[in-house]
Structure 1
Amino acid sequence: MLSLKKRTQAPNPISSKPRSRKRPKSKLEHYDDVCCEKCGSDQHPAELLLCDKCDCGFHIFCLRPILAAVPKGPWFCPHCAHSKEVRGFPLVQTKILDFFRVQRSSQPTQSLNCYKKRRRTSGLVMSKKSRRLLPFNPSEDPVRRLEQMASLATALTVTGTEFSSELTYVPGMAPRSANRAVLERHGMQVLSKDDVETLTLCKNMMERGEWPPLMVVSDPREGFTVEADRSIRDLTIITEYVGDVDYLKNRQHDGGDSIMTLLTASDPSKSLVICPDKRSNIARFINGINNHTPGGKKKQNVKCLRFDVNGECRVLLIASRDIKKGERLYYDYNGYENEYPTEHFV
């Protein structure tokens, strides 16, 4: 079974209240007539933020970039925040390699070429039938790979996130022993032996500094987003969705906009989610489509799939069609649950 849900629960537009509307009681009566500074409307009050400095109102979907959810704690509008341009991570090899903990004894991509030759020995019909996953194809230019890595380091640094390429299990949250694919409510697709080898190959390449051909860019409308830096074939592994693993019950009221379903258990108390707010990789910056419009669905070029990998649940982002160089990556935040509100996405 597949699950593409990025959030665990959609906000209720009737009952939910903006967390940033914390004002003295003497002032509360003045906020009934607040309108959005962008669109001029007072509709959708549950999604209308008040700046904690100037008291101006803004819909989360009128802001650029859009806010996917009402933020926790104090919030300041773009004018009061005095936001500055994002400073890029220094393009210094030693700093970048240390940031991503890359092995210094890097090997050339010979292993990838050998792997491709071995995989292509089967007939074309059999390959189509098996639908095997493909490893990403790194850029040949090592300088360009450093630029790709620096773009991700920039986004992680700005968001205060530590780089991680694995699921992490933090004391006080869900232990690794809780991540058991056998608990999946309707069963979970087992990743084949060949595809496990492909996933392992991708991780080994990254550890050597042979980076996926992806560039993180800062867009004034979408915030951080990910572009293909070279053409990517259908069924190519883009990345694994990683972060801290926690029980869903602990995150029901979490305001994060990037929580990913990991395990939907028959016993709800055993359901797990991935929380990438403290530790994550490039998956956190791949944006979602507006799945309420035909145009939004046409943008989708990545699928989010859950697999049983050696008994554990894992989430992979995989190219769902051929992706051209310069094309931005998008996937559907929602699966069969359809609980995440995407109608305001760009």
Structure 2
Amino acid sequence: MKDFILLVLGVGLLHTASAVTHSMKYFYTGSSEVSNFPEFVVVGMVDGVQMVHYDSNSQRAVPKQDWMTRHTDTQYWERNTGIFMNSQQIFKVDINTLKQRFNQSGGVHTLMEMYGCEWDEDTGVTEVFKQFGYDGEDFVAFDLKTKTWIAPTPQAVITKHKWDNDMSYNEYWKNYLTQTCIEWLKKYLDYGKSTLKRTVPSSVSLLQKTPSSPVTCHATGFYPSGVMVSWQKEGQNHHEDVEHGETLHNDDGTFQKSTHLTVTPEEWKNNKYQCVVQVAGIKEDFIKVLTESEIQTNWGKTNRGANDPNTIGSIAMEPVIGVAVALLVIVVIVVVGVVIWRKMKSEKGFVPTSTSDTDSENSWKGFQKT
């Protein structure tokens, strides 16, 4: 579940920090028998920032950023509300169809569609994706090169054959993903440029619980999310006994990431170890040399209060609490019950005032055999 959530947040990026990669993604999630959750949810994101939301409880598409409000009108949101309501009904039918294929009766079940595109601002390289998952497992995915569908499970073969035989449908998706999606991604970046194209430097700390614990290099407060947090020994990249954490959201819209180094005090006192943080779009590296004075720790400070800023508890837990809240919100928004749907990069996008790239929903075919 943790890996899936990080993907939803758009923070599982493996691009180098020197490249500024932008993305537009949409997540459609249908569910059955999930208590206290909408049976259908749409979340749209640009660069990991949610810009639109729809759910079956409110049955309204709404902007989640001021810049979306400024660049769209009432007709735009009414149009997309209608599209999402139509998708809601189709997803409901499709979940019932898939239950039959998997020989299931009741219980919690989820269907998710994710599609969209990425664009490297420096190189112009693009990447696209359109995939479906059912109950936390890959179900069917679009192969752009062949304009056919990949079915990783026998229950998806019916859908694969149905969609493979519709060449106009597949040609439409190729054009949408490679052209329309990229065009609108660039438009949204322009709409929200004051937020989406900003750069914020990182704050870097070295943390350690006890003298025998790994030393953590904690980078936080940076934007965009593209970052490399690495350790060097005597000026050379050091990979031995290094564990990299995930890039996580802070509740103020920035990001954080930690990398852990397992090394004895004798070793780092006799050799020069340093943590190097590189943030996408920022030329300057942020460096912390591992010395005793730089390490923030708890040991020998048992009499300090829980709110003492010099304790590792207040240093480490404060951002983590914010992340936990953010993750909980995302879980609620996206839907419970999806179990680590890996490799899915996803989603789709919107368009400005008079039209919408959600027009693609009009060509949605569903999983029914006919």
Structure with higher strand content: 2
Give your verdict on TM over 0.5: no
Q: TM-score scaled to structure 1, two decimals?
A: 0.22
Which of these two proteins has the greater Rg computed from alpha carbons? 2
